[in-house]
């Protein structure tokens, strides 16, 4: 063995031993602090579940295996604290928000639409954007949008009759509800009236198919963005695909140019609101007008993703649960039918839908049991004393395990069962003492919450008045898609639609 070979061998061995020492040191982080932790796999930590099981399943299993108030995990080599009680969730999300104001998710300049949207952008831009966007979701705006949601829900009813009853096509709930939501968001964002449910070509459906179609690669990319942002930044991964990004950019500016030429404007959609936002939003002095343009596009993009992905999932799981609970389904039908007869209407409006308490209870219970977003993540800004025994160091990610709270029998007896009566007097703003967090809580709570809930109400009210739904098989459990970062039913989910006579 010559000198060069010996040198290379010694260098390789030294590098290997150093790597082993770093890994052992990193993975001893929680043990040194006396906090229970999930045993990591070298280099990938506790991310061995990625692409094999859903995120929801991982966090639910974590809470059952480690039923403590908090548990340590490792996202790759990164120590991460998972809190699992309403009290600790309240501290992180609300009480001490100033120390947990930013999300952990990757935010890189290589992906402006992904890094500048309300879900990912950091303070101080986030607080300014949030303030400017909040007026988009007032009750008066939602009343107007509910008329459109009802129009699209009527198209949904017709599509069910045409495709699933007359043509006997296989039902993919996630797909048809994504179509329904994309038709609504086409008008909400761009002022475009078009019906993908009626087989019309839709630019929003093209964008949506890029956003919510969970392939192996797309799932791997999103997993890195959400769980290993350092790797995502290194590989320049993107929150939105190149195809979706360019299409949104082109569509947005085409709409803007058309309005400039015609002088026709609309205060009902997001485009006009974002143009005003560009004029009013306060940005750091060092940034130019390009940032303001990218901020507008980013909000349009994330609104499309958020309103379609979570609404279509909630609708899919609600129909699945109702199909397996015929008594509850009949009770809900009678509530809808009675309201229609009492109001003397064929379709219920915004105020009428809000009065359907059992409908709200069914939706809420579905979101408790089948929560679209299984966790809420933040970054610790400064060293913080969480409890007498737990101190969180600066820069440590903190995840609120929503599934641990939603499926804990201490807060929800028989948590594996679907029981709408848990929400006997439901309110859209009641988090039940932080035991019900499907939309998050605190300053970062979902800004489109009321929009999403009304979109779900409108579809269910019309569908369930026209059709009874029954299970396709005897299998009750509807597993989540392992490729999806948010909960999505594997294979889309399915029911049988039976016309009511």
What gap in Å lies between CA 50 and CA 72, rounded to an integer?
Answer: 18
Residue 129: which of 285, 278, 271 has the closest Cα?
A: 278
Got the DSSP string for 2-43?
Answer: -HHHHHHHHHHHHHHHHHHHHHHHHTTHHHHTT--BPPPBTT
Question: Which residue matches tokens 């809808």?
Answer: 336
* Strands in 259-392 per DSSP E: 375-379, 384-385, 391-392
Helix (H), strand (E) at residue 317: helix 289-323
Question: Does residue 496 sit in helix, strand or coil?
Answer: strand
Is 446 annotated as a binding-site member? yes
Q: What is the signed CA dihedral for 19, 21, 22, 24, rounded to 10 degrees?
A: 120
Instruction: Give the list of residues 6+ apart from residue 262 with CB closer than 8 angstroms, or none.
Output: none
Vertex 36: Cα angle to 34 and 37 (nearest 5)? 120
b/e 418-446 (16+ beta carbons within 10 angstroms → b): bbbebbeebeeeebbebbbbbbbbbebeb
Per residue, what are the HEC states of 99-151? HCCCCCCCCCCCCHHHHCCCCCCCCCHHHHHHHHHHHHHCHHHHHHHHHHHHH
Annotation: binding site: 446
Annotation: binding site for heme: 446
């Amino acid at each position: 063995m010559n000198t060069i070979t010996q040198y290379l061998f010694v260098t390789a061995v030294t590098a290997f031993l150093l790597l082993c020492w770093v890994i052992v040191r990193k993975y001893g982080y929680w043990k040194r602090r006396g906090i229970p932790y999930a045993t990591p796999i070298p280099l990938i930590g506790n991310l061995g579940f990625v692409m094999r099981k859903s995120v929801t399943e991982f966090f639910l299993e974590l809470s059952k295996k480690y039923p403590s108030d908090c548990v340590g995990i490792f996202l790759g080599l990164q120590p991460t604290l998972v809190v699992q009680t309403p009290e600790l969730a309240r501290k992180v999300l609300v009480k001490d928000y100033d120390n947990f104001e930013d999300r952990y998710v990757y935010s890189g300049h290589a992906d402006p639409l992904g890094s500048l949207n309300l879900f990912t952008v950091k303070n101080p831009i986030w607080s300014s954007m949030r303030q400017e966007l909040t007026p988009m979701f007032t009750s008066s705006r939602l009343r107007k949008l509910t008329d459109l949601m009802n129009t699209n829900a009527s198209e949904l009813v017709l599509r069910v009759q045409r495709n699933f009853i007359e043509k006997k096509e296989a039902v993919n709930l996630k797909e048809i509800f994504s179509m329904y939501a994309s038709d609504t968001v086409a008008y909400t964002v761009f002022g475009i009236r078009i019906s993908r449910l009626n087989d019309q070509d839709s630019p929003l459906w093209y964008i949506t198919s890029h956003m919510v179609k969970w392939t192996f690669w797309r799932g791997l990319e999103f997993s890195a963005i959400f769980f290993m942002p350092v790797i995502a930044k290194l590989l320049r991964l993107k929150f939105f695909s190149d195809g979706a990004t360019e299409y949104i950019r082109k569509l947005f500016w085409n709409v803007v140019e058309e309005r400039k030429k015609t002088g026709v404007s609309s205060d009902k959609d997001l485009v006009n609101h974002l143009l005003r936002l560009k004029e009013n939003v306060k940005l750091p002095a060092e940034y130019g007008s390009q940032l303001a343009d990218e901020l507008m596009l980013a909000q349009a993009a994330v609104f499309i993703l958020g309103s379609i992905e979570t609404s279509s999932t909630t609708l899919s799981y609600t129909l699945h649960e109702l199909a397996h609970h015929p008594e509850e389904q009949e009770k809900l039908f009678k509530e809808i039918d009675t309201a229609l007869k009492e109001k003397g209407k064929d379709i219920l409006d915004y105020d009428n839908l809000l009065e359907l308490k059992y409908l709200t209870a069914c939706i809420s219970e579905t979101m408790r049991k089948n929560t679209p977003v299984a966790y809420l993540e933040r970054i610790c800004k400064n060293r913080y004393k969480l409890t007498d025994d737990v101190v969180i160091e600066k820069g440590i990610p903190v995840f609120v395990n929503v599934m641990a709270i939603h499926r804990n029998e201490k807060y929800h007896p028989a948590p594996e069962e679907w029981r709408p009566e848990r929400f006997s007097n439901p309110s859209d703003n009641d988090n039940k003492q932080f035991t019900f967090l499907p939309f998050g809580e605190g300053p970062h709570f979902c800004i489109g919450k009321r929009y999403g809930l009304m979109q779900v109400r409108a579809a269910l009210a019309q569908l369930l008045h026209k059709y009874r739904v029954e299970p396709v098989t005897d299998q009750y459990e509807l597993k989540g898609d392992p490729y999806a970062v948010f909960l999505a039913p594997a294979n889309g989910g399915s029911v049988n639609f039976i016309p009511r006579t």
